[in-house]
Structure 1
């Protein structure tokens, strides 16, 4: 089993690696469509959300999801906006310290969730310009799927 510190380092590497040259509304749509395609091929029960700034540009819910997935998305996105890192990384850092994310920051769980699935969209020379979020799988799988799609978008 991989220790938390190793996973933290891997996710930090992903965040350094996945920096785009631009991120337009069309890119957001392509990213969302790519995630729908991957989820359809793999028959994954996920909800997908793509934001450019604070604007929701793409949203899709697959069979097997519920409105609760939308709530998870909102809570994960708030973590990215507030802490400037993926929701998975923020949660892993808390776990590595043996602490409770929500208690440490005085944040209600119904508003902030440091669970995997929301990943910042960064543009070189600009910083965070959006968020890609997946909800419906185990948190590490939500995170991995968002990273896979963002990596695919980055090489196109």
Structure 2
């Protein structure tokens, strides 16, 4: 017997719960380098041909391409990052919300899918006392894996116990 697939509402609630626990108390250029390197090592260990981008106040503080990643991955990073900057939620959660409302980016927000992508892999970088200061974005794995890689890394950076982290399920 397989476990029951969570509803869209349950998946969105999980994303919201993750977002509440991934606030950072401090973030500077050194933190961007450490976070980016952690993502790089995790992607390398998983064998993902990944592009990684950490942007704060629209300035790229970390960018890397693992072997096998290409310009296409860089473009996906741009599109996912644009969506997080627009909505302030993860690109995965944005995709879930669009699915729940049975609509598209174009119909709901009037933006082009050429410049915005509701697929997992971009996440708001949240600083306690400041709010959203930027984004952490990856592209190169299946979208669910992109999302979970970023969230798990931010979860640990925020000092949350990994034993309490729950990955988003396949949809």
User: In 1, distance between residues paired with 2:96 and 2:58?
Assistant: 24
Question: Which residue number in structure 2 is paired with residue 139 of structure 1?
Answer: 143
User: In 2, distance between residues paired with 1:90 and 1:133?
Assistant: 14
* Matches for 1:76-155 after TM superposition, within 5 Å: 76-155=80-159
- Looking at CA atoms only, which structure, 1 or 2, has the larger radius of gyration? 2
**Stretches of 4+ moved more than 3 A in 1?**
none
1:48 maps onto 2:52 in alignment = yes
Per-residue deviation, 1:124: 1.0
Question: Do the aligned residues in 2 keep the contact of 1:23 with 1:129 (CA within 8 Å)?
Answer: no
The Cα RMSD (Å) is: 1.3
Q: 2:13 aligns with which of 9, 15, 35?
A: 9
More divergent stretch after superposition (7-16 vs 102-111): 102-111
Question: Do the aligned residues in 2 keep the contact of 1:28 with 1:52 (CA within 8 Å)?
Answer: no
Normalised TM-score (structure 2): 0.87
Unaligned residue ranges in structure 2 (runs of 5+)? 161-171
Normalised TM-score (structure 1): 0.95
